[in-house]
Amino acid sequence: MEIRIQSIHFDAAEHLQTFIQKKVSKLEKFYDEINSVEVVLKIVKPETATNKEAGIKVYVPNYDFYANKICDSFEEAVTLCIEALEKQLMKHKEKMRKK
């Protein structure tokens, strides 16, 4: 599984990239045919408390899954996105089993 991290208008710290890699790699437990994952991080203007936005797109054969969250920190936003994607992948897996 290929993981691409893109930070818009800032440089993501090494520990943030490591955190994202670790969280995203857990998605393989829920769906083993993931081709690639694209993570986009950006700081929302104007400067407010909840201005860290994370968007994660998961590419699987014939489908794409997406989650987007805005929180106080990138870690929190990524964690919430991963939880949302886990639900989407599990629902998709159930749908595929029924066919």
Domains of the chain: 2-98 (3.30.160.100)
Checking if the pLDDT of 46 tops 80, the result is no
Looking at residue 88, what is its pLDDT? 96
In which residue are the tokens 């104007």 written? 46
Looking at residue 34, what is its pLDDT? 94
List the Cα angle 36/20/31 in 5-degree steps.
Answer: 40
Average pLDDT over residues 33-38: 95
Closest CA to 19 of 70, 73, 68, 60: 73
Looking at residue 5, what is its pLDDT? 96
Looking at residue 98, what is its pLDDT? 85
Looking at residue 45, what is its pLDDT? 83
Q: What is the pTM of this model?
A: 0.92
Checking if the pLDDT of 50 tops 90, the result is no
Percent of the chain with pLDDT over 70: 100
Per-residue pLDDT tens over the stretch 75-92: 999 999 999 999 999 999
Q: What is the DSSP letter of 62?
A: T
Residue type, 12: A
In which residue are the tokens 């929302």 written? 44
